[in-house]
Structure 1
Amino acid sequence: MIQVAQILFILSVLVILHEFGHYLTARMFKMRVEKFYLFLDIGFSLIKKKIGETEWGIGWLPFGGYVKISGMIDESMDEDQMKQEPQPWEFRSKPAWQRLIVMLGGIIVNILLAWFIYTMMFSTVGQKYISMEKFQKNGLAFGEVGQSVGFKNGDKIVSIDGKLQPKYNWAIIDVLLSEEVIVDRNGKEVKLNLTDEQKGEILGSEGKNFIKPRIATILIDSLEPKSEAVKANFKKGDLIKSVNGKEFTYFDVFAEDLKGLKNDSIKVVVERNKQLVELNAKVNKEGKLGFYPTTQDKNDFLITNKLSFGEAVSAAVKESYQLLVYNVKQFKLILKPATGAYKQVKSPIGIARQLPDSWDWEFIWNFTALFSIGLAFMNLLPIPGLDGGHALFTIVEMVTGKKLSDKAAGYVQTGGMIFLLSLMVLTFGKDIYQLILDKLIN
């Protein structure tokens, strides 16, 4: 329930402020706003109240929201109004440059919101990020897919498309969007050029977690019930020193060696309560003993920069711009079918499932800023039904001097809405199916 509450709160903040951007600019140019709704009120609304010329309300369907501006062909598809003679207070009666500003009003507010949130966060709790330098101090560890596309345990990323990204979260995205990755492998630089198919393998299995810090000590965190480790009397907290006399520094090397000892009996020396203890164990048929090592939390690599308000303003602008750039790059990845990135697009249900199950204001505001930039980018797309689609036709009108007829605009708007609703049904259906499947499995 907390995850649901969080996504509803975030969506409400974003939708209200986005639509307020349209409302404010419309009123600034003396246009009449007939409705202002949070969520959609198809058939009926949960709450509504008319104040002046505007009906304010909350719809029952949590898919965005809208403002209905007089004389505008929008999702309300009010054809009767468009058949009447244009009135001075209507959207269609205003100059093209004013209509363009109204169309971009929501996007501008979304960008300003992200800027404001980051400014306040950076000047209070600080600018926080996971240091890539600290994260890969002992090298990096990769799963089977990561290794299959060319990475090796112990690699350190030197550059991605010629640049070194200091922030871990962005570095992972950069790798998935890259043309060339250079890694330091045992003191030598190695170039990796991931294909779209290889990126698809990563996205479809391990995702952003395909890169992990290399575990430098083999300390037992937990044991699998009835495992060989339990039978051999391993204990939580044991520090593995050697196997058959061979010492190990990294867990990935230890795990790889065990694979070559399937079904063999081995002697393992562990450090327990500052004393060395020798244990006789058997490696199972999968090449494992049956324990989980301790791992380092990503917060162990966290860096916090305390910024003054002036520094925070500048840093927030840069952060917002970088996020917009990453949205463009990720969209390009989605448009490449071979990567399968389109399968990772999530509805609010899928997003909610990734939120923490406890209320954390710092996380919520950071996520709101991130989501706000994403919403701004999405609405910039020149798709009929989105702000970018309306803006594109208005820009064409300003350049050519020719306006799209109301009838043609209605057809275009209808087509855009059908496309967007179909996309929405697909993403929601996929996430609901995955939710049901996970519940059945667990």
Structure 2
Amino acid sequence: MEFVIKISQFLLSLSLLIILHELGHFIPAKLFKTRVEKFYLFFDVKFSLFKKKIGETVYGIGWLPLGGYVKISGMIDESMDTEQMAQEPQPWEFRSKPAWQRLIIMLGGVTVNFLLAILIYIGMSYFYGDTFLPSENIKDGLLVESTVANKAGLLTGDKIIAVDGDKIEKFSEISEKVLFGHQIEIERNGNVSTINMPEDFLSQLMDAKEKGFISLRQPFIVNKVPDTSYNVNSGLKKGDIIVGMNGNQTKYLDQVKTVLDAHKGQQVTATIKRANSEITLPLSINENGKIGVELAGATPETLEALGYYKFDVKDYGFFESFPVGLNKAKDKLVSYWDQLGAIFSPSTGAYKGVGGFKAIYDIFPSTWSWEYFWSITAFLSIMLGVLNLLPIPALDGGHVMFLLYEMISGRKPGDKFMEYAQMVGFFILIALVLFANGNDVYKALFE
């Protein structure tokens, strides 16, 4: 069932993005009286799952879910229809239109991608509002589980004040900014200092294959004491919170684990918070530093009710949601551009984290949530828009690059040159797709 939910969200999001992107090309093409021969969701290599001709356009669904396309008459694209290009240009063809019209047609797809992301963020701001944790409300610092981050100088209990001079306002900003930051300003035990992150920090993280990085410190909440647990008769119950051991305060899970590791194979006296009272219980610790219980995750509501963190909730009116949504889209665009810059800088090692369709599939939750679905779709729309603007022949950005050259120089690149450029761009794209999806396969097999 989990697979069905995840794959349904993945295909729905992908289909929505592809159709709207291609509509961005289709609509201005039709407005400028340019013939569109095909409009396809997914690729129809050899055969189609569905197709129907309406007017001069064949609408269809292909079987290969790697994208989609519109085939515009008189345009050198992925179809490589050289036979059509060898004939005399016709008035309805793309190549016969003025450069400014061709530019609008080519920019239509990415324009729709960015507009879609903005509209989604506006809608989410209006319907869901914002729930966030101000960084100033993290009184006891953060949990830093990564040994690579520890080696760089970040420790559990540190408060991250700023990254590269930009003040951290919300907890949700921290991980991403630290990952791609160079100078981290922290507060530790009341003292402020600056940590210079190693240039290959991302590379080290990828190589270490660690699951944890930077997160909120959580309380030790018991979810279940199994019948097989060596503490089954200790009196420990579901919902109990361990807040002390041997007279020492253990407000957080990481503090409890430190005590457990220091008392392997021994017995300790634990202070337990139960409802509105505190009790003490003897607990046995095995040779691995475990007490044999299952832990409960804590929601923002639980953490706030227990007094650990104070979350802020903001609701927006209809008109308020517009600037808020626009700001969110801008922040995501800047963020993804920074990530892309790191990926194309070999020294950072960020390319090791590049993923393909499996990586995109994995970011969807295993339970259906419209809030998460729209949030992921908005980000993927920005990602698709940015990637399509890259100046690679075969992408929209490649066509735009040649059109701008034509408009500035007054000279149109020859059809043969465009054919060769398209082929080079196609092979570059294939290489990138193979690399990204190859990373997915490698991680699935060896990590």
- What TM-score, normalized to structure 2? 0.88
- Residue 104 of structure 2: aligned partner: 101
Gap change, CA 1:225 and 1:164, over 3 Å in 2:
farther
Larger displacement relative to structure 2 (273-282 or 378-387)? 273-282
* Post-superposition offset of 1:159: 1.1
**In 2, are the aligned partners of 1:7 and 1:348 still within 8 Å (CA)?**
no
| Paired residue secondary structure (2:200) | helix
**In 2, are the aligned partners of 1:196 and 1:336 still within 8 Å (CA)?**
no
For 2:55, give the aligned amino acid: G
**In 1, are the aligned partners of 2:234 and 2:281 still within 8 Å (CA)?**
no
For 2:329, give the aligned amino acid: S
- Residue 74 of structure 2: aligned partner: 71
Matched, 1:87 2:87: no
Separation in structure 1 between the aligned mates of residue 142 and residue 230 of structure 2, nearest angstrom: 28
Pick aligned residue for 1:354 from 338, 354, 363: 363
Pick aligned residue for 2:133 from 107, 113, 131: 131
What per-residue deviation string (whole Å, max 9, x for no partner) do you get for residues 297-342 of structure 1? 3565654422222221122222212111111100011123343322
- Residue 165 of structure 1: aligned partner: 168
Gap change, CA 1:88 and 1:258, over 3 Å in 2:
same
* Post-superposition offset of 1:117: 1.7
Separation in structure 1 between the aligned mates of residue 257 and residue 127 of structure 2, nearest angstrom: 44
**In 2, are the aligned partners of 1:282 and 1:289 still within 8 Å (CA)?**
yes
Separation in structure 2 between the aligned mates of residue 237 and residue 321 of structure 1, nearest angstrom: 42
Separation in structure 1 between the aligned mates of residue 256 and residue 403 of structure 2, nearest angstrom: 63
Aligned positions of 1:25-424 closer than 5 A? 25-126=28-129, 128-133=130-135, 136-145=138-147, 146-203=149-206, 210-215=213-218, 217-222=219-224, 229=231, 234-270=236-272, 274=277, 276-279=279-282, 281-284=284-287, 286-291=288-293, 293-298=295-300, 303-424=312-433
Gap change, CA 1:33 and 1:159, over 3 Å in 2:
same
Gap change, CA 1:292 and 1:153, over 3 Å in 2:
farther
Gap change, CA 1:389 and 1:298, over 3 Å in 2:
farther
| Paired residue secondary structure (2:166) | coil
Unpaired segments ≥5 residues, structure 2: 304-309
Unpaired segments ≥5 residues, structure 1: none
* Post-superposition offset of 1:294: 4.2
Larger displacement relative to structure 2 (28-37 or 159-168)? 159-168
What per-residue deviation string (whole Å, max 9, x for no partner) do you get for residues 204-233 of structure 1? 557895111123x44433457856555866
* Post-superposition offset of 1:187: 0.8
Gap change, CA 1:73 and 1:302, over 3 Å in 2:
farther
| Paired residue secondary structure (1:317) | helix
| Paired residue secondary structure (1:181) | strand
Separation in structure 2 between the aligned mates of residue 51 and residue 152 of structure 1, nearest angstrom: 63
**In 2, are the aligned partners of 1:135 and 1:168 still within 8 Å (CA)?**
no
Gap change, CA 1:199 and 1:430, over 3 Å in 2:
closer
Separation in structure 1 between the aligned mates of residue 49 and residue 285 of structure 2, nearest angstrom: 64
Aligned residues with identical type, % of pairs: 40
* RMSD of aligned alpha carbons: 2.7
Q: Aligned residues, how many?
A: 435
Separation in structure 2 between the aligned mates of residue 321 and residue 144 of structure 1, nearest angstrom: 30
Gap change, CA 1:87 and 1:208, over 3 Å in 2:
farther
